[in-house]
Chains A and B, each alone.
Chain A
Protein backbone atom coordinates (compact mmCIF):
# COMPACT_ATOMS: atom_id res chain seq x y z
CA UNK A 1 0.00 0.00 0.00
CA UNK A 2 2.87 2.36 0.84
CA UNK A 3 4.44 1.77 -2.54
CA UNK A 4 1.24 2.83 -4.27
CA UNK A 5 1.15 6.08 -2.28
CA UNK A 6 4.81 6.84 -3.05
CA UNK A 7 4.19 6.16 -6.73
CA UNK A 8 1.11 8.40 -6.77
CA UNK A 9 2.96 11.20 -4.95
CA UNK A 10 5.86 10.86 -7.38
CA UNK A 11 3.52 11.03 -10.35
CA UNK A 12 1.73 14.08 -8.92
CA UNK A 13 5.11 15.80 -8.34
CA UNK A 14 6.21 15.01 -11.90
CA UNK A 15 2.97 16.43 -13.30
CA UNK A 16 3.34 19.64 -11.23
CA UNK A 17 7.01 20.19 -12.13
CA UNK A 18 6.23 19.61 -15.78
CA UNK A 19 3.93 22.61 -15.71
CA UNK A 20 6.40 25.05 -14.16
CA UNK A 21 8.07 27.94 -15.94
CA UNK A 22 10.67 30.40 -14.68
CA UNK A 23 11.66 33.54 -16.58
CA UNK A 24 13.92 36.44 -15.75
CA UNK A 25 14.78 39.73 -17.40
CA UNK A 26 17.08 42.60 -16.44
CA UNK A 27 17.57 46.11 -17.75
CA UNK A 28 20.74 48.06 -17.01
CA UNK A 29 23.95 47.22 -15.20
CA UNK A 30 24.16 46.21 -11.57
CA UNK A 31 24.78 49.23 -9.31
CA UNK A 32 27.51 48.01 -6.98
CA UNK A 33 27.26 49.15 -3.37
CA UNK A 34 31.06 49.30 -2.98
CA UNK A 35 31.27 51.80 -5.85
CA UNK A 36 28.54 53.94 -4.29
CA UNK A 37 30.48 53.89 -0.99
CA UNK A 38 33.51 55.47 -2.65
CA UNK A 39 31.51 58.58 -3.60
CA UNK A 40 32.15 61.24 -0.98
CA UNK A 41 29.79 64.15 -0.45
CA UNK A 42 31.57 67.49 -0.85
CA UNK A 43 34.69 66.12 -2.55
CA UNK A 44 33.90 63.71 -5.40
CA UNK A 45 33.64 65.51 -8.73
CA UNK A 46 31.32 64.98 -11.67
CA UNK A 47 34.09 63.47 -13.82
CA UNK A 48 35.04 61.05 -11.02
CA UNK A 49 31.41 59.91 -10.80
CA UNK A 50 31.33 59.31 -14.56
CA UNK A 51 34.63 57.39 -14.36
CA UNK A 52 33.25 55.21 -11.55
CA UNK A 53 29.73 54.49 -12.80
CA UNK A 54 29.76 55.46 -16.45
CA UNK A 55 27.39 57.88 -18.12
CA UNK A 56 24.10 58.30 -16.27
CA UNK A 57 20.91 56.70 -17.56
CA UNK A 58 19.11 59.97 -17.03
CA UNK A 59 20.27 63.55 -16.45
CA UNK A 60 17.87 65.90 -14.67
CA UNK A 61 18.20 69.60 -13.91
CA UNK A 62 17.10 70.44 -10.38
CA UNK A 63 17.12 74.14 -9.52
CA UNK A 64 20.31 74.68 -11.47
CA UNK A 65 21.95 71.53 -10.14
CA UNK A 66 22.63 68.37 -12.12
CA UNK A 67 21.12 65.10 -10.94
CA UNK A 68 22.58 61.90 -12.34
CA UNK A 69 20.20 58.94 -12.24
CA UNK A 70 21.36 55.36 -12.62
CA UNK A 71 18.83 52.55 -12.62
CA UNK A 72 18.57 48.81 -13.02
CA UNK A 73 15.35 46.81 -13.42
CA UNK A 74 14.98 43.15 -12.51
CA UNK A 75 11.93 41.06 -13.46
CA UNK A 76 11.13 37.56 -12.25
CA UNK A 77 8.21 35.55 -13.56
CA UNK A 78 6.89 32.25 -12.29
CA UNK A 79 4.17 30.22 -13.97
CA UNK A 80 2.34 27.20 -12.65
CA UNK A 81 0.66 25.59 -15.65
CA UNK A 82 -1.59 22.94 -14.16
CA UNK A 83 -3.78 20.77 -16.32
CA UNK A 84 -6.95 22.55 -15.31
CA UNK A 85 -5.72 25.97 -14.20
CA UNK A 86 -2.83 28.36 -14.98
CA UNK A 87 -1.24 30.83 -12.57
CA UNK A 88 1.36 33.39 -13.60
CA UNK A 89 3.01 36.12 -11.60
CA UNK A 90 5.50 38.66 -12.86
CA UNK A 91 7.27 40.91 -10.35
CA UNK A 92 9.44 43.84 -11.38
CA UNK A 93 11.56 45.98 -9.08
CA UNK A 94 14.24 48.57 -9.63
CA UNK A 95 17.46 49.76 -8.05
CA UNK A 96 17.89 53.51 -8.34
CA UNK A 97 20.81 55.78 -7.62
CA UNK A 98 20.56 59.56 -7.67
CA UNK A 99 23.69 61.69 -7.42
CA UNK A 100 23.02 65.37 -6.88
CA UNK A 101 25.83 67.68 -7.98
CA UNK A 102 26.10 71.31 -6.99
CA UNK A 103 26.77 74.16 -9.43
CA UNK A 104 30.55 73.57 -9.11
CA UNK A 105 30.18 69.94 -10.20
CA UNK A 106 30.85 68.49 -6.73
CA UNK A 107 28.65 65.73 -5.24
CA UNK A 108 26.16 67.29 -2.85
CA UNK A 109 24.01 64.29 -2.01
CA UNK A 110 23.66 60.60 -2.87
CA UNK A 111 20.32 58.79 -2.72
CA UNK A 112 20.26 55.07 -3.36
CA UNK A 113 18.46 51.88 -2.40
CA UNK A 114 18.32 48.30 -3.61
CA UNK A 115 14.83 46.95 -4.05
CA UNK A 116 15.79 43.97 -6.19
CA UNK A 117 17.42 42.14 -3.28
CA UNK A 118 14.06 40.94 -1.97
CA UNK A 119 12.65 40.07 -5.40
CA UNK A 120 11.50 36.43 -5.49
CA UNK A 121 10.02 34.03 -8.00
CA UNK A 122 6.33 33.75 -7.18
CA UNK A 123 3.47 31.73 -8.63
CA UNK A 124 0.53 32.56 -6.42
CA UNK A 125 -1.20 35.73 -7.68
CA UNK A 126 -3.76 36.20 -4.89
CA UNK A 127 -1.66 37.50 -1.99
Chain B
Protein backbone atom coordinates (compact mmCIF):
# COMPACT_ATOMS: atom_id res chain seq x y z
CA UNK B 1 0.00 0.00 0.00
CA UNK B 2 2.84 2.36 0.96
CA UNK B 3 4.67 1.69 -2.30
CA UNK B 4 1.47 2.41 -4.22
CA UNK B 5 1.09 5.77 -2.47
CA UNK B 6 4.75 6.63 -3.05
CA UNK B 7 4.18 6.00 -6.77
CA UNK B 8 0.91 7.91 -7.02
CA UNK B 9 1.99 11.02 -5.05
CA UNK B 10 4.77 12.10 -7.47
CA UNK B 11 2.43 11.53 -10.41
CA UNK B 12 -0.29 13.65 -8.77
CA UNK B 13 2.20 16.39 -7.88
CA UNK B 14 3.44 16.36 -11.47
CA UNK B 15 -0.11 16.62 -12.81
CA UNK B 16 -0.86 19.55 -10.46
CA UNK B 17 2.32 21.37 -11.46
CA UNK B 18 1.63 20.81 -15.17
CA UNK B 19 -1.97 22.01 -14.80
CA UNK B 20 -0.89 25.09 -12.87
CA UNK B 21 1.83 25.89 -15.38
CA UNK B 22 -0.60 25.49 -18.25
CA UNK B 23 -2.02 28.87 -17.36
CA UNK B 24 1.41 30.53 -17.23
CA UNK B 25 2.42 33.42 -19.48
CA UNK B 26 5.65 35.36 -19.33
CA UNK B 27 5.95 38.43 -21.56
CA UNK B 28 8.72 40.97 -21.86
CA UNK B 29 8.72 44.16 -23.92
CA UNK B 30 11.84 46.26 -24.28
CA UNK B 31 12.31 49.58 -26.06
CA UNK B 32 15.90 50.50 -26.79
CA UNK B 33 18.73 49.32 -24.57
CA UNK B 34 18.23 49.80 -20.86
CA UNK B 35 20.86 52.11 -19.43
CA UNK B 36 22.24 51.87 -15.91
CA UNK B 37 24.66 53.92 -13.82
CA UNK B 38 27.58 51.79 -15.04
CA UNK B 39 26.76 52.54 -18.68
CA UNK B 40 26.95 56.29 -18.11
CA UNK B 41 29.84 56.33 -15.63
CA UNK B 42 32.21 57.57 -18.34
CA UNK B 43 30.40 60.93 -18.52
CA UNK B 44 32.27 63.62 -16.60
CA UNK B 45 30.40 66.94 -16.48
CA UNK B 46 32.59 69.77 -17.77
CA UNK B 47 34.85 67.41 -19.74
CA UNK B 48 32.86 64.89 -21.78
CA UNK B 49 31.46 66.16 -25.07
CA UNK B 50 28.16 65.22 -26.67
CA UNK B 51 30.08 63.56 -29.51
CA UNK B 52 31.66 61.14 -27.00
CA UNK B 53 28.25 60.41 -25.47
CA UNK B 54 26.79 59.69 -28.92
CA UNK B 55 29.77 57.47 -29.78
CA UNK B 56 29.12 55.29 -26.72
CA UNK B 57 25.34 55.43 -26.24
CA UNK B 58 24.16 56.14 -29.80
CA UNK B 59 21.91 58.96 -30.87
CA UNK B 60 19.43 60.26 -28.31
CA UNK B 61 15.70 59.87 -28.84
CA UNK B 62 15.12 63.58 -28.66
CA UNK B 63 17.00 66.84 -28.46
CA UNK B 64 15.46 69.89 -26.88
CA UNK B 65 16.16 73.44 -25.85
CA UNK B 66 17.40 74.15 -22.32
CA UNK B 67 18.51 77.27 -20.49
CA UNK B 68 22.10 76.06 -20.44
CA UNK B 69 22.11 75.03 -24.10
CA UNK B 70 20.45 71.78 -25.06
CA UNK B 71 19.18 68.60 -23.48
CA UNK B 72 19.42 65.15 -25.06
CA UNK B 73 17.10 62.45 -23.81
CA UNK B 74 17.59 58.69 -24.05
CA UNK B 75 14.32 56.89 -23.38
CA UNK B 76 14.06 53.20 -22.61
CA UNK B 77 11.43 50.79 -21.45
CA UNK B 78 11.54 47.31 -19.94
CA UNK B 79 8.08 45.86 -19.28
CA UNK B 80 7.78 42.51 -17.53
CA UNK B 81 4.46 40.72 -17.34
CA UNK B 82 3.74 37.36 -15.77
CA UNK B 83 0.43 35.57 -15.28
CA UNK B 84 -0.65 32.34 -13.62
CA UNK B 85 -4.16 30.91 -13.90
CA UNK B 86 -4.80 28.63 -10.92
CA UNK B 87 -8.28 27.92 -12.30
CA UNK B 88 -6.67 25.27 -14.50
CA UNK B 89 -6.20 23.15 -11.39
CA UNK B 90 -9.97 22.73 -11.05
CA UNK B 91 -10.70 22.16 -14.72
CA UNK B 92 -10.66 18.35 -14.64
CA UNK B 93 -13.25 18.27 -11.87
CA UNK B 94 -15.71 21.01 -12.80
CA UNK B 95 -18.11 21.33 -15.74
CA UNK B 96 -17.47 25.10 -15.94
CA UNK B 97 -14.28 26.84 -16.98
CA UNK B 98 -13.02 28.45 -13.76
CA UNK B 99 -10.37 31.20 -13.62
CA UNK B 100 -8.27 32.31 -10.68
CA UNK B 101 -5.71 34.56 -12.25
CA UNK B 102 -2.74 36.19 -10.57
CA UNK B 103 -0.86 38.57 -12.83
CA UNK B 104 1.45 41.48 -12.43
CA UNK B 105 3.03 43.97 -14.80
CA UNK B 106 6.19 45.92 -14.04
CA UNK B 107 6.60 49.03 -16.17
CA UNK B 108 10.28 49.88 -16.21
CA UNK B 109 9.98 53.26 -17.93
CA UNK B 110 12.92 55.56 -17.51
CA UNK B 111 14.97 58.15 -19.37
CA UNK B 112 18.51 59.40 -19.18
CA UNK B 113 19.04 63.12 -19.77
CA UNK B 114 22.23 64.86 -20.76
CA UNK B 115 22.45 68.63 -20.54
CA UNK B 116 25.06 70.34 -22.74
CA UNK B 117 26.21 73.93 -23.05
CA UNK B 118 26.51 75.88 -26.30
CA UNK B 119 29.88 74.20 -26.98
CA UNK B 120 28.29 70.72 -26.74
CA UNK B 121 30.12 69.94 -23.51
CA UNK B 122 28.11 67.97 -20.93
CA UNK B 123 27.24 70.08 -17.90
CA UNK B 124 24.80 67.77 -16.12
CA UNK B 125 23.41 64.28 -16.51
CA UNK B 126 20.96 62.09 -14.68
CA UNK B 127 18.19 59.50 -14.79
CA UNK B 128 14.61 60.68 -14.55
CA UNK B 129 13.14 58.00 -12.31
CA UNK B 130 15.92 55.78 -10.94
CA UNK B 131 13.76 52.69 -11.31
CA UNK B 132 14.97 49.30 -10.27
CA UNK B 133 14.36 46.59 -12.87
CA UNK B 134 11.00 44.94 -12.13
CA UNK B 135 11.14 41.17 -11.55
CA UNK B 136 8.86 38.53 -13.06
CA UNK B 137 6.59 37.99 -10.07
CA UNK B 138 2.89 37.24 -10.66
CA UNK B 139 1.76 37.67 -7.04
CA UNK B 140 -0.12 40.99 -7.11
CA UNK B 141 -0.68 41.60 -3.40
CA UNK B 142 2.86 42.42 -2.41
CA UNK B 143 3.68 46.10 -1.98
CA UNK B 144 5.92 47.61 -4.64
CA UNK B 145 9.52 48.05 -3.70
CA UNK B 146 10.16 51.33 -1.90
CA UNK B 147 13.58 52.89 -2.23
CA UNK B 148 15.31 52.94 1.14
CA UNK B 149 16.68 56.20 2.51
CA UNK B 150 19.90 57.20 0.86
CA UNK B 151 19.34 55.14 -2.30
CA UNK B 152 18.08 58.08 -4.31
CA UNK B 153 20.47 60.98 -4.78
CA UNK B 154 19.85 63.85 -2.37
CA UNK B 155 18.73 67.16 -3.81
CA UNK B 156 22.05 68.95 -3.78
CA UNK B 157 22.84 72.11 -5.66
CA UNK B 158 20.70 74.10 -7.99
CA UNK B 159 18.21 72.42 -10.23
CA UNK B 160 18.43 73.05 -13.95
CA UNK B 161 15.13 73.80 -15.61
CA UNK B 162 14.46 72.60 -19.12
CA UNK B 163 11.57 73.48 -21.36
CA UNK B 164 9.67 70.67 -23.00
CA UNK B 165 7.44 70.89 -26.03
CA UNK B 166 4.46 70.08 -23.85
CA UNK B 167 5.00 73.34 -22.02
CA UNK B 168 5.84 71.50 -18.82
CA UNK B 169 9.04 72.16 -16.94
CA UNK B 170 11.15 69.42 -15.47
CA UNK B 171 14.01 69.88 -13.11
CA UNK B 172 17.15 67.80 -12.91
CA UNK B 173 19.10 67.76 -9.71
CA UNK B 174 22.79 68.46 -9.99
CA UNK B 175 23.96 64.86 -9.68
CA UNK B 176 27.57 65.64 -10.31
CA UNK B 177 27.77 67.55 -7.07
CA UNK B 178 27.18 64.42 -5.00
Q: Could you tell me which A residues sit within 8 Å of B by CB distance?
A: 58, 60-63, 67, 69, 83-94, 96-98, 111-113, 115, 125-126
Rounded to whole angstroms, the CA-CA distance of A90 and B31 in the bound complex is: 8
A125 touches B32 (CB 8 A): no
> With A60-B63, A113-B59 known to touch, is A125 a contact of B27 (CB < 8 Å)?
yes
Q: Taking the complex as formed, is B26 at the interface, i.e. its CB lies under 8 A from any CB of chain A?
A: yes
Residues of A within 8 A of B28 (CB): 88-90, 125
Query: Are B32 and A92 interface neighbours, CB within 8 A?
Result: yes
With an 8 Å Cβ cutoff, the count of chain B residues facing the other chain is 29
Query: Would you give the shortest CB distance from A26 to chain B, in whole angstroms?
Result: 14
Q: Are A63 and B58 in contact (CB under 8 A)?
A: no
| Cβ contact within 8 Å between B18 and A89 | no
A115 and B27 form a contact (CB under 8 A): no
One of B39-47, B64-72, B147-155, B168-176 contacting the partner: B64-72
**A-contacting residues, B43-84, CB 8 Å:** 50, 54, 58-65, 69-70, 77, 80
Q: Contact between B31 and A92 (Cβ–Cβ < 8 Å)? A: yes
CB pair A88–B59 under 8 Å, yes or no, is no
**What chain A residues lie within 8 Å of B63 (beta carbons)?**
60, 62, 67, 69, 98
Q: Are B58 and A69 in contact, CB atoms less than 8 angstroms apart? A: no
22 contacts between A and B (CB under 8 A): A60-B64, A61-B65, A62-B65, A63-B118, A84-B18, A84-B21, A84-B24, A85-B24, A85-B26, A86-B26, A88-B27, A89-B27, A94-B32, A94-B61, A96-B59, A96-B61, A97-B59, A98-B59, A98-B63, A111-B54, A125-B26, A126-B136
